[in-house]
Homo-oligomer: A and B are copies of this chain.
Amino acid sequence: MQAVVKPRRAAGGEVATVPDPVPRDDEVLVRVRASSVCGTDVHLWTWNAWAQSRVKRVPMTMGHELSGEIVAVGRSVRALAVGDHVSAETHIADGTCYPCRTGKMNICENVQVLGVDRDGVFAEYVVLPEMNAWKNDPHLDPAIASIQEPLGNAVHSLLPEANVEDLAGKNVLITGCGPIGLLAIAVAKTLGVSSVVATEVNRIRADLARSMGADAVLDPVALGDRLIPEIRAATAGHGADVALEMSGHPSSLATVFGALTPGGRVSLLGLFDRPVAIDVDSAIVTKAARIQGIFGRRMFETWYQVRALLARPAFREKVASIITHRVPIPEVARAMELIESMQAAKVSLVARW
């Protein structure tokens, strides 16, 4: 079959012919109908420092966001059948380690990530463990179905645990309006929050943030020292009750802590690449802040929440609007370029080989 492959430990990638995958007893074989490009894929493509240290195996088929149709099932598969439409939870967990046995499969000690640790979805076919195949409404646009995975990151950032402080009536701050930040704005607006304030420097993204429903979108560079006072003004003087850091910029981390209400909650999803100096005393200790690292999604509570969101037509429209480009998959190099140059929000890859 055809696949987008990382052939060697160097920048770039290529479309190549690879062997057809065969499902094991507990796996399903999926024909890919749509996939989409994540920032991680761009890092792998450009072969940045993170990619160089993270990737263990080449050649490897890239990609992890997909939707497709089951064309074969292993003999132990119980809940799925040929013809079912599915997307993938991309963290493949071992099920028996300490985190897995205590409800945290997303941080499995032996986690394998699709398209990073094992062959991914930028291909005609992919195999998935039954556990990781999430059954979709067959009427859902495949391009949107493929985006459920990052939408899950956005939901998980807002609702990291079953018993987290509820968001009803709270003010939410989101720093960074990349695809997950944009999705998080749209999600937050459905959860009974009081207001959503976002920060973003890029004009295209700031406009999308407004169309996602942000009550205020602030430019941190333009505002400088007035940023935190502006956030306070936009949150009834209390500051943010809940803050999501999604930019990976050290200055945004300072914004998050400075604008947080005492006793407030922070979700950290953005990666910073290098250590960040934090004034722990005022940022965390005396403010009694709560901080949660965000990695993956809850398996599979988050997926049910994603399903319920996508059942709302108005929400689906918002999600569709951040897919700014749809590109045939053989032109994957152009998709990478569109994201890297920040011309695109989300790029969907059409399975036209």
| Interface residues in chain A, defined as those with a beta carbon under 8 Å from any beta carbon in chain B | 25-26, 76, 78-79, 94-99, 101-104, 106-107, 109, 130-131, 155, 159, 161-170, 187, 190-194, 238, 253, 261-263, 268-281, 284-295, 299-301, 303-309, 311
**Could you say which of B101, B277, B279, B285 contacts A304, with CB atoms under 8 Å apart?**
B101
Asked if B191 contacts A191 (CB within 8 A), the reply is yes
User: Of B163, B281, B308, which contacts A162 at CB under 8 A?
Assistant: B163
Q: Which B residues lie within 8 Å of A291 (CB)?
A: 284, 289-292
Q: A169-B307, A288-B295 are in contact. Are A104 and B263 (CB under 8 A)?
A: yes
Q: When the two chains form their complex, are residues B301 and A293 in contact, meaning their CB atoms are under 8 A apart?
A: no
Q: Interface centre among A99, A102, A268, by most B CB within 10 Å?
A: A102
Which B residues touch A277, using CB under 8 A?
275-278
Q: A159-B166, A169-B309, A273-B281 are in contact. Are A288 and B107 (CB under 8 A)?
A: yes
Q: Are A169 and B253 closer than 8 Å at their CB atoms? A: no
- Residues on B with beta carbons closer than 8 Å to the beta carbon of A97: 79
Copy number in the complex reads 4
Distance in angstroms from A116 CB to nearest chain B CB is 13
Asked whether, in the complex, the Cβ of B102 is within 8 Å of the Cβ of A304, the reply is yes
Q: A102-B304, A166-B159, A311-B194 are in contact. Are A288 and B292 (CB under 8 A)?
A: yes
**CB <8 Å contact, B79 and A96:** yes
Assess whether B294 is in contact with A268, with CB atoms less than 8 Å apart: no
Q: Which residues on the B side are within 8 Å of A289 (C-beta)?
A: 291-293
State which of B95, B263, B276 has its C-beta within 8 Å of the C-beta of A131: B95
A168 adjacent to B194 (CB under 8 Å): no
- Given A162-B165, A275-B280, A309-B169, A287 contacting B191 (CB threshold 8 A): no
A interface, over-half SS: loop
A-B contact pairs, 19 of them (CB 8 A): A25-B25, A25-B76, A102-B263, A106-B288, A162-B163, A166-B167, A168-B190, A169-B309, A187-B192, A191-B192, A194-B311, A275-B277, A276-B278, A278-B280, A285-B294, A287-B295, A289-B291, A290-B290, A290-B291
In the bound complex, do residue B169 and residue A305 qualify as a contact, i.e. CB atoms below 8 Å apart?
Answer: yes
Residues of B within 8 A of A261 (CB): 98-99
- Alpha-carbon distance between A285 and B287 when the two chains are bound, in angstroms: 20
List residues of chain B with CB within 8 A of the CB of A107.
Answer: 262-263, 286-288
Contacts of A25 in B (CB 8 A): 25, 76
Instruction: Rank and list the top 10 A-B pairs by shortest CB-CB distance, nearest first.
Output: A169-B305, A169-B308, A194-B308, A163-B163, A291-B291, A284-B293, A275-B277, A79-B96, A101-B300, A107-B262
The distance in angstroms between the C-alpha atoms of A277 and B99, with both chains bound, is 27
* Most chain B CB atoms below 10 A, which of A94, A168, A263, A268: A168
**Closest residue of chain B to A94, judged by CB?**
B78
In the complex, the answer to whether A238 meets B163 with C-beta atoms within 8 Å is no
CA distance A261 to B123 in the complex (A): 36
Q: Shortest CB–CB separation between residue A212 and chain B, in angstroms?
A: 15
Closest CB in chain B relative to A211 CB, distance in Å: 19
Residues B275 and A278 in contact, CB atoms below 8 Å apart: yes
Q: Are A192 and B194 in contact (CB under 8 A)?
A: no
Could you tell me if A161 and B159 are in contact, using CB atoms closer than 8 angstroms?
Answer: no
Find chain B residues with CB under 8 A from A26 CB.
26, 76
A102-B292 contact, Cβ under 8 Å, with A159-B166, A168-B305, A192-B308: no
Assembly CA distance A285 to B246 (angstroms): 11
